[in-house]
Amino acid sequence: MPFHRRLEGTMIVRRRAVPAVLAATVLLLTAGCSSGGGELPGARPAATTSGATAPAPGTESAAPAKGSVEVLRTVAEGLKTPWGLAALPGGGLLVSSRDDGTVTRIDEKTGKKTELGTVSGVSPAGEGGLLGIALSPDYASDHMIYAYFTSASDNRIVRMLYDERKPAGEQLGAPDTVFKGIPKGVIHNGGRIAFGPDGMLYAGTGESGQRGLAQDRKSLGGKILRLTPDGEPAPGNPFPGSPVYSYGHRNVQGLAWDDRQRLFASEFGQDTWDELNAIKPGDDYGWPEAEGESSGTGLHNPLAQWHTDEASPSGVAYADGVIWMAGLKGRRLWRVPLRGTQAAAAPQAFLTGAYGRLRTVAPAGGGKLWLVTSNTDGRGEPKKGDDRILELRVR
């Protein structure tokens, strides 16, 4: 029997493939290389949705089935292994470099780059390094930046003071570790962090290539964690005294909330299905027992799934009833219109192949998104100007 292990958009021979249960409803993939979208020539029935039928009377209305994407401009270019992105309240974007371990401020009007400093303790290797970043809920008063990174011994979350008064390169304070002990590996380090509408800190972790960790609720690997800003298990978590919010994940890469404070997350599959999930506290999302939709008792099925060569999902963002999902190996931006916590229509793809691997997508307000490419991560094909941040108009 062949053995495979899928990385962030590539394959190496190692691990036994896990059979996937195909979705009951298969919808044709709609895709487009231009801002107008449209059907991808020769598309096979790849992207599927769960529960994309008409809702009962009186339930939530759905976002439009079809949308559009317009690339307005390149905000910045010449970035090396960008990973996390955070928009400052007074203007400016912070971006982390996975391999350099630095945080850089981008002037979103001019594209000027100012390095804040290097995060001490980062030990980049494989898919690990300086990954997600987020601003403190009290950033206006405390000026704290949170970061998820791979150290020599684990994955951890730290916070650092950002002091703009100091010279460039010296503006980051020493990292204060608020949470540690997340399993690390050459692959599947998770890394996305975000503060939710409740003011709690959420972190997507990977199972570091050790599949059994995802089902072990005592392990921090293969989970979505919910913490206080000080790194304690958040009040109201489904398992008392535990930071675990949901489990059975392979490698969570994106976190986003809709306008009703419901959480959605993207994650890598093995060889067959990548997933977009609506997250319910305490639920089991199936890995490694299931990949994609399953008839298994007690497993939470994804709201949408993709063949792995068409997604390898990373960041997600919510805007106006739609989840937008960046694809690494898929090299496209996916649009998933929602009706509540279900997909309202087949996923629609944009920018297919136009900018290479896509790592992070974030709301920019006013029907716009920030989109970060990922072609300098060792698995892309960098072109002049890579990597870059783009500004998009979407609907």
Domains and CATH numbers, the chain: 24-394 (2.120.10.30)
pLDDT band at 46 (very low <50, low <70, confident <90, very high): low
Q: What is the tens place of the pLDDT at every residue in 169-199?
A: 999 999 999 999 999 999 999 999 999 999 9
What's the pLDDT score for residue 333?
98
CB 327 within 8 A of CB 319: no
Q: What is the tens place of the pLDDT at every residue in 353-362?
A: 999 999 999 9
What's the pLDDT score for residue 36?
37
Beta-carbon contacts of residue 336 (< 8 Å; ≥ 6 apart): 49, 276, 303, 304, 322, 323, 324, 325, 343, 347, 348
Instruction: Count the Cβ atoms, other than its own, within 10 Å of residue 124.
Output: 17
What's the pLDDT score for residue 7?
57
Residue 154 has pLDDT above 50, yes or no: yes
Average pLDDT over residues 137-160: 98
Q: What is the tens place of the pLDDT at every residue in 291-305?
A: 999 998 899 999 999
Average pLDDT over residues 142-166: 98
Radius of gyration for the alpha carbons in the chain, expressed in angstroms and rounded:
19
Instruction: Count the Cβ atoms, other than its own, within 10 Å of residue 16.
Output: 12
Average pLDDT over residues 2-9: 47
Please state, for a pLDDT cut of 90, what percent of the chain lies above it.
Answer: 84
Residue 250 has pLDDT above 70, yes or no: yes
Higher pLDDT, 216 or 11: 216
What's the pLDDT score for residue 61?
87
What's the pLDDT score for residue 66?
97
What's the pLDDT score for residue 130?
99
Task: Give phi and psi for 139, each to the nearest 5.
Answer: -55, -35
Q: What is the tens place of the pLDDT at every residue in 62-79?
A: 999 999 999 999 999 999
CB 272 within 8 A of CB 258: no
Q: Supply the mean pLDDT for the chain.
A: 89
User: Using omega within 30 degrees of 0 as the cis cutoff, is the peptide bond preceding 238 cis?
Assistant: no
Residue 58 has pLDDT above 80, yes or no: no
What's the pLDDT score for residue 329?
97
Average pLDDT over residues 341-360: 98
What's the pLDDT score for residue 48?
76
User: Tokens 């989840």 sit at which residue?
Assistant: 323
Q: What is the tens place of the pLDDT at every residue in 307-342?
A: 999 999 999 999 999 999 999 999 999 999 999 999
Higher pLDDT, 12 or 256: 256
Q: What is the tens place of the pLDDT at every residue in 98-132?
A: 999 999 999 999 999 999 999 999 999 999 999 99
Secondary element (H or E) of residue 140: helix 139-142
Residue 12 has pLDDT above 70, yes or no: no
Task: In whole angstroms, give the CA distance from residue 73 to residue 70.
Answer: 9
Residue 352 has pLDDT above 50, yes or no: yes
What's the pLDDT score for residue 235?
98
**Three-state SS annotation for 232-301:** CECCCCCCCCCCEEEECCCEEEEEEECCCCCEEEEECCCCCEEEEEECCCCCECCCCCCCCCCCCCCECC
